[in-house]
Structure 1
């Protein structure tokens, strides 16, 4: 009888283990079913070999890896689907899933994003990253949901520098009368007007042609953009001014996001964080290389520290004006973050 009882217990135990195993398998299958086959689209204005394009590829690869190949992200670089403004509208409307563009353009939806475009706000990339990952930026990104967007972090375009076909920009006075393309943002228009230039708002896709035809004299962008866009073919002078830092909010359509499961959203968030880290690393690496590369085909000059101090003083009225427009609370919060950081150095 003892043997029979033992066999019965053994059988019951095995059956229980088998049932538990099936339940775990079923649970795993149910979990896997939370990730659907999806074909998503990510459009941006920069070249595929630019650090932002490489960051976009990293995001696509990470989404595929984290979803077991179920979620696919196709990339559309070089403004092939439209300008930044058109991409922004498409993402808000749900006909495009992802885009990334300068904070100055996102400011057309929420003017508080202009805080990141204040001239000479950041001393270096470390400060810029700390603030664009900080409490103020998180609050602004969360606020994009009201505009049909989900903010997934702020990528790095870098510090902007001037190029033109007329002369080296050594002093602020050298800006006088230059027809300069600017992004379509009030702060950029006022900044270049204050420096004595004639600012012409223009989408990025139009810039090369306008430089080539001499419809404009110059433009401003980080050196990695200047290099990947091949502006050296149509511009003679590069002046290292680092006058504005440009962050690139990475945004997703809220319509797409709202249709996703918790598991799918985790895939997107984790892949976005991974891609942001890689994109920033590539931007830093590229900046050093790009200046050396551009020296071979352009006349490159640095602007002295003493002259940069004059620039800062000259554009202070622009900083004061837009600080009021952005909202002094937001500007105060950013300045407080910077003060804390600089005090800790």
Structure 2
């Protein structure tokens, strides 16, 4: 018994000695300097929320923007990217931005039309005969007018990003003539113009966030949808839709928007650098979008899963004639002057006249 007590006392004394020896002689000596932690509490954080996959034109542009900011402003600004609707769906992200819960979003043009009806001008069917026409619209007077409207909601539009032209898909039958749309229900973004477009084709519509499209198609809640090749590919929509028509009937682009109060509160030099980085990212995104849509269309073709039809000139004429009424129906909502500008732009690039 005594031996056990002696051993216990010996171990206890040893532990106390080790602890005492382990303490530094000067307890007031400062901790080692860690340069990486310096200034973290003062770093400006930009939460960038979006709803598409990381391997899409918008997803990759958001990551590139964050990377360039990290390289040039690492000690002052951090961009946190939240893809796939992790933080907010496209239904709620604008409200979150306006409140200041997030600082940056990049919604599609269609997702702005509920709050700003004139943005529907960019959704008009066959408004843009080429990428060059899109560029002129966004970089010219039309783009300036649309961006100016955002300031009324504590938002500032900084840049335009691209995805590409939209195509039609269906699980039911090929979409070659306008009559082929009759009786089908198509998922759409919350755009009155897009809604009227499908109604003009004899179809029904169901508005829903992009994150719900795949499940809705699988469940049979909708028969079809419209989207760019990169979105059809990245969300595997082509695997559950038997038919796709290369129609190029509309354009899907994005507006990079920031909370205005947050943006105006940034130091001038930081804001200037961020604007430069966004401009560089937009230029990079334009080329990437075209490349991805081209490569991923090839991948869809190779899969052999979906039947792909390219509209002929005669078939496109049919669609255009069927959709001409949309321009008339939407004139009041969009505004006659803006509608006239988009028509004039289309005529400049030999678009079909309405």
Structure 1 segments unaligned to the other structure (5+ residues): 1-32
Q: Which residue of 1 aligns with 2:28?
A: none
CA distance in 2 between counterparts of 1:341 and 1:308 reads 16
Q: CA deviation at 1:227?
A: 0.3
CA spacing shift, 1:207–1:260, aligned 2, 3 Å: same
CA distance in 2 between counterparts of 1:181 and 1:38 reads 38
Give the structure-2-normalised TM-score: 0.84
- Structure 2 contact 110–119 (Cα < 8 Å) conserved: yes
- Structure 2 contact 113–190 (Cα < 8 Å) conserved: no
CA distance in 2 between counterparts of 1:335 and 1:72 reads 42
Q: CA deviation at 1:68?
A: 4.3
SS at 1:282 equivalent: helix
Q: CA deviation at 1:335?
A: 3.2
Q: Which residue of 2 aligns with 1:104?
A: 110
- Structure 1 contact 100–251 (Cα < 8 Å) conserved: yes
Q: CA deviation at 1:341?
A: 5.7
Given the alignment, which residue of 86, 89, 95 partners 2:95?
89
Q: Does 1:309 align with 2:317?
A: yes
Given the alignment, which residue of 199, 202, 214 partners 2:208?
202
1:18-167 alignment, distance < 5 Å: 37-167=43-173
Deviating above 6 A after TM superposition, structure 1's stretches of 4 or more consecutive aligned residues are: none
Given the alignment, which residue of 241, 262, 272 partners 1:266?
272
CA distance in 1 between counterparts of 2:140 and 2:350 reads 15
Structure 2 segments unaligned to the other structure (5+ residues): 1-38
Q: Which residue of 2 aligns with 1:322?
A: 330
Single out whichever of 132-141 and 44-53 deviates more from structure 2.
Answer: 132-141
SS at 1:293 equivalent: helix
Q: CA deviation at 1:179?
A: 1.3
CA distance in 1 between counterparts of 2:317 and 2:65 reads 39
Given the alignment, which residue of 300, 312, 323 partners 2:308?
300
CA spacing shift, 1:66–1:332, aligned 2, 3 Å: farther
Equivalent pairs, count: 309
- Structure 2 contact 127–342 (Cα < 8 Å) conserved: no
CA distance in 2 between counterparts of 1:46 and 1:179 reads 23
Q: Which residue of 2 aligns with 1:168?
A: 174
Name the larger-Rg structure: 2
1:187-198 alignment, distance < 5 Å: 187-198=193-204
Given the alignment, which residue of 342, 347, 350 partners 1:334?
342
1:219-238 alignment, distance < 5 Å: 219-238=225-244
CA distance in 2 between counterparts of 1:336 and 1:72 reads 43
CA spacing shift, 1:340–1:188, aligned 2, 3 Å: closer
- Structure 2 contact 171–224 (Cα < 8 Å) conserved: yes
The CA RMSD measured in Å over matched residues stands at 1.7
CA distance in 1 between counterparts of 2:214 and 2:331 reads 32
SS at 2:91 equivalent: helix
Q: CA deviation at 1:255?
A: 2.3
